[in-house]
Each structure stands twice: as C-alpha cells, then as structure tokens.
Chain A
Amino acid sequence: MSPVDYVALSVILFVIGAVGVLVRRNAIVVFMCIELMLNACNLAFVAFSSMHGNLDGQVIAFFVMVVAAAEVVVGLAILMAIYRARRSASVDDANLLKW
C-alpha cells in the first residue's frame, strides 16, 4: 500500500471538509467540517511518517489532535454564548459586526 493513496484520500477528505465549511449554515456543522479537515491533515501526516519510516509525523499528528481538542472546547463555548444571546446556531444570525 503506497503512501500516495493515503495522501490522495486525505486530499479528498480535506476538500470535502472545505466545501462543508463554505456551504453549511449551522455553526455546529461548520465546526464538524473543520474537524474533518484536521483529521484529513492527520492522515497525511501519518502517511508521510510511514513513508519516511520515522515517528515525527505521528508526533505532529498528536499535536494536531491536542490543538483540535482545545479549538473545539473554545469554539463550542463561543457557540453556546451566541446561542444564549441570539437563540440561533446559524452563522447568518451572528451579524452584529456586519457593516
């Protein structure tokens, strides 16, 4: 199994996640799509790690997971705050800063 296949799969998953971020309006779904993109990156890192035969890629993927967990915690807290203020989880309704 060549690492190219894994990298190609990670590209496909990353693009699907990017489309989801652009298209979906529910903020939670947008967050999930960001998670999908991060996971795709991790897959590429692990593939490169197995290609080079060392563990640096796996360590980087581990750090990506930690950062993703922190991002989810803060992001969902922001989402809850917005929902409490505006009674909606849609990205279109958080428009107070819109000019």
Chain B
Amino acid sequence: MRGVLAAAPGTNADVIARECIFWILAVASVGAALAMILVRRAVHCALMLAVVMLCLATMYAMQGAPFLAFVQIIVYTGAVLMLFLFVLMLIGISSSDSIVETIKGQRMAAGLVAIGFFVILILGIGHAAIGPAAKPTAAQGADNLTGIATLIFTTYVFPFEVTGALLITAALGAMVLAHRERISPKPSQRELAARRVASGHLAPDPSPGVYALHDSADRPALLPDGSPSDLSVSTALSQRSVTGQPGFVPPEETIEIEADGGAREIEPSGRADS
C-alpha cells in the first residue's frame, strides 16, 4: 500500500501491481459511467457516479496525489454527491426518465457526435508527445500537502482569492434561489377554523389502517361498508407511489401475506413504482 500511495521503489512486482490496479479501476469506472447513462432511475445514477468517483480517487493516490485523493472522497463523494441525493429525495425518488425521444433521431445524433468527439480527442492524444511519468519526487509522496500549499499561497494566490469570491457568490445565489417569498399572509387560527366549517368536513380525516388488516401509514382505512378511504392516506405517500394506489387493497392477498410472515415488500400493491 505504501508503494501504491507514494513513489514506486522500482521493483518489478510494484509495476505489475500498479498495472493490475489501473486496469481493474479503469474497467470499473468505465462500466459504472456507462451504467450511469443507461439506468433509468436517478438514484441508481447517483450510486454509479459514486463508484466512478471512488475509482478516480484511488487513481489520484496511485499517481502521487494523495491530497487530491482525499479531497475527492471528502468533497465529491461526501458532499457533492450527498447534495445530489438530498435534492433527489426532495424532488421525488421516483423521478425517472421517460424513454420516449422528444426530438426525433436525437440519440442517433448524440451517438454520432460522441464517436466523432472521441476520435478527435484520441487523435489529439496520439499526436501529442506524452512522455513517460517523470521520476516521482518527494512532492508526490510525503511532501504533497506542503507542496500544494506552497503553490496555492504563492504562485496561485490570486486565483485562490477569486475562488473565495466565487464560493461566496455561489452561496448567496443558492440562498436567493432557494428563498420563497410568502405571497399571502399566514392564515390565523380563526381563518383556519372558518375554512374548516365552510368545507363541511368538520371531523378530522380518518387515520390510516383503521379496520384494515395492517396498521401501517400507507394502508387506507376501511369505511363501514368495507371500501377503502383515500382520505386516510397522506398524499405525500400516494404521490411518491410508495405503495401504489391508496384505494387498492385486495383483501385475500393481504391475508396471504399476513400468513407467511408479513413481508410487505412483495405485496403486489408495493410494486407500482418499478
């Protein structure tokens, strides 16, 4: 591990280990990146992106950039990706892509553009004189952190200052964009009571699970005539289709599930989001 993280001592076995690790990580990252653009659900996409980022972090460590490797894990995988997942959960976990092409022939064109772009880039690399790796110095091993700090605070001190301004602007922008102005005044208790009387529905909504076979929050209550009540299930649950349609309870299937141990995931009404 020491040899992988820091400079290679020059033995044969170390080179082979590096080659092996590189190819394993390369295949894993390209596979995960391909899966990222192929899977339909955004959460799976985020997980694939995490795999790519971790692979890249290991590659940074192999190339004598331990500081960047840890920043990659902490900032990218830890913060940025969690931000993605956070927004994903806010927007709705079931927000998956539609598979219809809105512009005709767009995928075909995108594929062609990608192939052309790839060829151009590979040709560019082929023409460029990319030499072998320079002899690893101390700056790529134990002195990496001090080396980067020296560069940032001497040569690149002005870009670093500008980066601070950029971050402050971004934070301000996010606050402005996320702020929601209250357009109407907050309703008082008197107005709420009047609204409730005017709606003609004085009693509170029925609780979920009343007279039903389960008492979970996603199970609609049964009315006296045996029909399920849509009012009893929170709209947040039915919108995200955690359990499918709230009004749909096949009684005999529910009893079967109850008999073999109450595994709720395999209920047919729970599969509506796949």
Residue positions of A touching B, CB distance < 8 A: 1-9, 11-20, 22-26, 28-29, 31-33, 35-36, 39, 42-43, 46-47, 49-56, 58-59, 61-63, 65-74, 76-81, 83-84, 89-90, 92
Contact = CB atoms under 8 A, between A and B. Distances in A.
Interface in B34-55: 34, 36-37, 42, 45-46, 49, 52-53
Interface of B: 15, 18-19, 22, 26, 29-30, 33-34, 36-37, 42, 45-46, 49, 52-53, 56, 59-60, 62-65, 67-68, 71-72, 75-76, 79-80, 83-84, 87-88, 90-92, 95-98, 102, 106-107, 110-111, 113-114, 117-118, 121-122, 125, 130-137, 139-140, 144, 147-148, 151-152, 155-156, 159, 163, 166-167, 169-171, 173-174, 177-178, 180
Give chain B's interface secondary structure class.
helix
Nearest to A90: B98
A8 B102 CA distance: 33
A8 B122 contact: yes
Contacts of B173: 73-74, 77
Contacts of A1: 15, 18-19, 22, 62, 133
A15 B121 contact: yes
Contact of B134 (A36, A53, A67): A53
A68 B166 CA distance: 11
Contact of A16 (B37, B140, B144): B37
20 contacts: A1-B133, A11-B122, A15-B118, A22-B106, A22-B114, A31-B84, A32-B36, A32-B84, A49-B63, A50-B134, A51-B134, A54-B139, A58-B65, A63-B159, A73-B170, A73-B171, A77-B177, A80-B91, A84-B180, A90-B97
Contacts of B91: 28, 79-80, 83, 89
Given A26-B42, A28-B91, 8 more contacts: A8-B125, A18-B117, A32-B84, A53-B140, A59-B148, A59-B155, A63-B156, A70-B169
Give chain A's interface secondary structure class.
helix
- Greatest chain B CB density within 10 A among A4, A12, A76, A78 is at A76
Contact of A2 (B111, B132, B137, B159): B132
A18 to B, nearest CB: 6
A50 B140 contact: yes
A28 B84 contact: yes
- Greatest chain B CB density within 10 A among A33, A58, A69 is at A58
A19 B84 contact: no
B110 A7 contact: no
Contacts of B80: 35, 68-69, 72
A76 B148 contact: no
B36 A33 contact: yes
B33 A46 contact: no
A6 B87 CA distance: 32
Contacts of A73: 83, 170-171, 173-174
Contacts of B26: 5, 9
Nearest to A88: B95
B30 A20 contact: no
Nearest to B26: A9
A80 B177 contact: yes
A26 B15 contact: no
